Amino acid sequence: MAFDKMELRDIEVWDGNFAAAQAMRQCQIDVVAAYPITPSTPIVEGYAKFLADGYVEGEFVMVESEHAAMSGCIGAAAAGGRVATATSSQGFALMVETLYQASGMRLPIVLNVVNRALAAPLNVNGDHSDMYLGRDSGWIQFDAYCPQDAYDLNFIAFRVAEDHDVRLPAMVHQDGFMTSHTAQGVHTMDDDTAYSFVGDFKPMNDMLDFEHPVTHGVQTEEDWHFEHKARQHNDLMTKVFPKIEAAFDDFEKLTGRRYNLVEKYDLDDADVAVVCMGTSVETAREVAKEMREKGIKAGVLGLRVIRPFPFFQIQEALKDVKAIAALDRSSPNGAPGMLFNELAGCLFNTDTKAMLSGYVYGLGGRDLTKKHLTDLYTELQANVDAGKITTPLQQFIGVRGPKLAFL
């Protein structure tokens, strides 16, 4: 069965889901095993239509659950080929067992995660609860802020994950609805250029090499388990960043589009900074610009890579900032937010005297408005002016009823 190439315009109007589906098509994936769930469903539907129209040569297996989707992906990846899928929220939660198995077995699967809240109460809209749930699973996690990023980061994810020095699965996150269903102009690559960036899949320890049978997924107890986990962590900490940076460099040469481990906006002389992820980064940049017009030296730090956590890059980016806000879009449920904690861990042993406060926002798709961010920057500036934190350490933005604040 031959497959056809697709003619694309230089700029297409795509939402994040379709951008991801197009990237998957252009990477010529061998096996996609998937299960639909809002808001990632259109990725799977888009891919199915490409198959039906003869633009895909690989196998497409519509399984009976997300757990089976990742299980099929693991079997396919161990067999030796390029593998990807997509999911959100509850589906992601159902996959969690297999996420650890995929990374522990060092299988380079790419998972598009369209971020959505976790029930209960049931909610289909975007927040980062599912993304946070995956943060200890041993996967590389890329974060897209817009459909263009969702498209580009898929290629980078395959390139890094499949590198034989890495061999770890990678997630590409995008915000449910805000990115996944919002159409924007997306600069495209033609099919040949796009494929050339990821290149042919190079199998390793593949079950389908019958001259070299392999055993995947063994048992290790107290005698070896720790060594396996430590090595996986070691590779995440030491081997992945250079590969991601090389991929970012090559991608810039190919397309002119530049990605960084952390995306800095007006941080060079900033007094106050917001650190956030997803679509909020773009909103924060716009507000930071407006704050500058009002005389507040505001900046934004967006995380492009969440795992491995860009510890030193964040230290460097925030070293001269006086007041920092960590924006967590997931309920911490009894603790400071994950981003707050990670930033505190980053900055603690440095010379910075920066004040760090945390904000929980946007749960279940609640809007983060420019007004919210203007108020937030104003609070940070007040901290700078007072020389101490003037608010509680943990505040909730945009929640109904009396203002919620803790710590």
Partner 1 sequence: MSEMKKIKNLKEFSTSADRFEGANLLCPGCAHSIIVREVLNATNDDLVLSASTGCLEVCTAVYPYTSWDASWIHIGFENGSTAVAGAEAMYNALKRKGRLKQPDRNPKFVSFAGDGASYDIGFQWISGCMERGHNIMHVVLDNEVYANTGGQRSSSTPIGSSSTTAPAGRVSYGEKKNKKDMVAIMASHGIPYSAQVAPNKWKDMVKKIQHGMAVDGPVFINAVSPCTTEWKFDPKDTMMLTDLATDSLVFPLYEIIDGHELNITYRPKNVVPVEEYLAAQGRFKHLFKDEYKYLIKEWQERVDANWAYLNRREEARV
Compute the distance between CA of residue 180 and CA of residue 18 in angstroms, rounded to an integer: 8
Q: Does 71 bind partner 1 (CB under 8 A)?
A: yes
Is residue 222 within the footprint of partner 1 (CB under 8 A)?
no
Which residue from 63, 257, 223, 233 is spatially nearest to 153, judged by alpha carbons?
A: 257
Q: Give the pair of three-digit tokens for residue 319.
A: 């070293």
Q: Which of 224, 237, 350, 404 binds partner 1 (CB under 8 A)?
A: 224
Report the residue number, 226 or 312, with the smaller CB distance to partner 1.
226
Chain centroid offset of residue 132 CA: 10
Question: Which CB sits closer to partner 1, 85 or 395?
Answer: 85
Radius of gyration of the chain measured on its C-alpha atoms: 21
For Cα atoms 121, 101, 277, give the angle at the middle one, nearest 5 degrees.
Answer: 50
Residue from 218, 351, 353, 400 touching partner 1 (CB under 8 A): that is 218
Burial 359-383 (b: 16+ CB within 10 A, else e): bbbbbbbbebeeebbbebbebbbeb
Binding flag, residue 230, partner 1 (CB under 8 A): no
Residue of 10, 209, 269, 375 interacting with partner 1 (CB under 8 A): 209
The separation between CA 190 and the C-alpha centre of its own chain, rounded to angstroms, equals 24
Among 24, 34, 44, 68, binds partner 1 (CB under 8 A): 68
Rounded CA separation 259/98 (Å): 29
Report if residue 58 touches partner 1, rule: CB under 8 A: yes
64 near partner 1 (CB under 8 A): yes
Placement of tokens 């430590």 in the chain: 230
Site string for partner 1, 155-194 (x = CB under 8 A): ----------------------------------------
CA-based nearest residue to 38, from 117, 97, 121: 117
154: contact with partner 1 by CB under 8 A? no
DSSP 352-389: ---EEEEEE--GGG----HHHHHHHHHHHHHHHHHTS-
Long-range contacts of 346-349 (CB under 8 A, 24+ apart): 346/311, 346/314, 346/315, 346/318, 347/314, 347/315, 347/318
- Residue type present at position 4: D
In the complex, minimum distance from the CB of residue 25 to partner 1, in angstroms, rounded to a whole number: 14
Size of the site for partner 1 (CB under 8 A): 48
The total number of residues written for the chain in this structure: 407
Using CB under 8 A as the binding rule, whether residue 72 contacts partner 1 is answered as yes
CB of 103 to partner 1, least distance (A): 12
Judged by CB under 8 A, the chain residues 85 through 124 that form the site for partner 1 are 97-98, 101, 105
Q: What are 225's two structure tokens?
A: 């388990």
Choose between 205 and 255: whose C-beta lies nearer to partner 1.
205
Helix ranges (DSSP H) in 239-355? 240-255, 280-293, 311-318, 338-347
- Give whichever of 205 and 390 is closer to partner 1, judged by the CB atom: 205
Amino acid at 184: Q
Stretch that binds partner 1, among 51-59, 145-153, 334-342, 354-362 (CB under 8 A): 51-59
CB of 57 to partner 1, least distance (A): 6
Q: Among 220, 234, 238, 350, which residue interacts with partner 1 (rule: CB under 8 A)? A: 220
Q: Which of 7, 164, 192, 210 binds partner 1 (CB under 8 A)?
A: 210
By the rule CB under 8 A, 214 interacts with partner 1: yes
**Segment contacting partner 1 by CB under 8 A, of 80-88, 119-127, 131-139, 350-358:** 80-88
Establish if 337 lies at the interface with partner 1 (CB under 8 A): no
Interface residue list for partner 1 (CB under 8 A) = 1, 30-31, 33, 57-59, 61-65, 67-68, 71-81, 83, 97-98, 101, 105, 203, 206-211, 213-221, 224, 228
